[in-house]
Amino acid sequence: MINQERRKQFLDLIAESGWDRLLLYGHSWRKDFFRSLVNFNFFGPHAVAALSKSGELSILLSHPWDHEFLAGHAGARLAWSADFRKGLEGFASGRIAIAGLELMEAKFTSAFHEPVSATAAVEKLRRIKTPEEIEILKQAARLADLGYRHFTDTAQVGMPEYELVAEVEAFLKSNGAEDNFMLIASGGTEVFGMRPPNERRLKRGDNLITELTPQVNGYYAQICRTLVLGDPNADQRRSFEIFREAQQAAQSFLKPGVNIRDVARVQNDVFRREGFEEFTGSKYTRVRGHNLGLHPDENPYVLEDVDCVVEKGMVLIAHPNTYLPLSGYMVFGDTLVVTDDGCVSLNQTEKKLFSKEV
């Protein structure tokens, strides 16, 4: 439950920075800073892990069920308080740094005198995954592959998007997923991006796109694929070939020492070469990928204006997801782990434009 490798890193960070205590805060949606040290999927709305410069670990919870579950298992001083702010006051002395400070409500931050944000420093340490973390991510990637297979098997003309997503969510959770971050869209050139599912019913000829991201033991792996309901037309096939080449350019380029901005650039260069430079900007494209771990959308984002050197042990998805006028929005990407001299995909799903007889 306690990530000992991270504990050592956090203690070094405390010493280097001159802090007295590092707090790792989590709430219902963003548990990742807390779970980077204490990998516990807490039930209540808030939790904090507090690591002192002497190495003492304390955990403050906001619900008695969490306290009951952790009692005797956490290897830390444990407390819970219905008045979470009052509980935080017990950590207020000295120079305090908080990872997740930006996520805290103002009434919580007011418990401290000039707290320092440790968010960026902790995010930087989290980018490089331990061998144990990579093994968990492999499990999540295998589940993503199974989930996508279930997605393609289940999709039918006439089915509403929300029903398809519900079927996939049920499959993933029955096979060990804690959670699943999933976006979807269906249609043609009128589709400019993915979103949560709605009541639209699937039609023959649709691009059916999804970003599927199951969570296993706290860690998320992601797969992005496009399925055509029926026989793909010429524009859909041409569009996919551009996406396939762009993703492969990123995967072939990715290795320790390169800059993340260039991982974005080699993808965008494929679109530029094909005459689609307009569609490489923020109007049509959010990111060309992102880091993965305890949050499904971690820094660094894969963009041409992001300056970050790639290191061995980083885990990210490279996905040239964007809109093209040929066929509308398409998606394509795998979870990649950076090795000594390149990267390998953790996904085993075939790299193709999927189609299904209808």
Phi then psi for residue 145, to 5 deg, are -60, -45
Are 122 and 140 contained in the same domain?
no
pLDDT reading at 127 higher than 90: yes
Same domain, 254 and 301: yes
114 and 141 assigned to the same domain:
no
Residues 117, 135, single domain; the answer is no
What are 13-26's pLDDT values in tens digits? 999 999 999 999 99
Q: Are residues 19 and 167 in the same domain?
A: no
**Do 329 and 190 fall within a single domain?**
yes
Same domain as 334, residue 206: yes
pLDDT of residue 104: 97
Q: 80 and 228 in one domain?
A: no
Confidence of residue 1 (pLDDT cuts 50, 70, 90): confident
Residues 121 and 147 in one domain: no
| Residue % of the chain over a pLDDT of 90 | 98
Shared domain for 95 and 22, answered yes or no, is: yes
Percent of the chain at pLDDT above 70?
100
Q: Which of 127, 159, 176 is the last residue of a domain?
A: 127
pLDDT tens digits, residue range 215-248? 999 999 999 999 999 999 999 999 999 999 999 9
User: Which of the four pLDDT bands, split at 50, 70 and 90, describes residue 75?
Assistant: confident
Report the CATH number that the domain containing residue 248 is assigned in CATH. 3.90.230.10
pLDDT at 348: 97
pLDDT band at 72 (very low <50, low <70, confident <90, very high): confident
Summarize pLDDT for 183-212 with one digit per residue, the tens. Answer: 999 999 999 999 999 999 999 999 999 999
Phi, psi of 211 (to 5 degrees): -115, 110
Spell out the residues 6+ positions from residue 229 whose beta carbon is closer than 8 angstroms to its own: 155, 157, 202, 203, 204, 205, 206, 208, 355, 356, 358
Place of tokens 């997605």: 151
Residue 96 has pLDDT above 80, yes or no: yes
Residue 151 pLDDT = 98
φ, ψ at 21 (rounded to 5°)? -155, 140
What is the per-residue pLDDT for 115?
A: 97
Question: Rounded to whole angstroms, what are the CA distances from 220 to 130, 194, 224?
Answer: 15, 19, 13
Q: What domain count does the chain have?
A: 2
> Which letter does DSSP use for residue 102 in this model?
G
Residue 16, domain CATH: 3.40.350.10
| Amino acid 74: pLDDT | 73
At 333-350, the pLDDT tens digits run 999 999 999 999 999 999
| Domain region containing 75 | 4-127
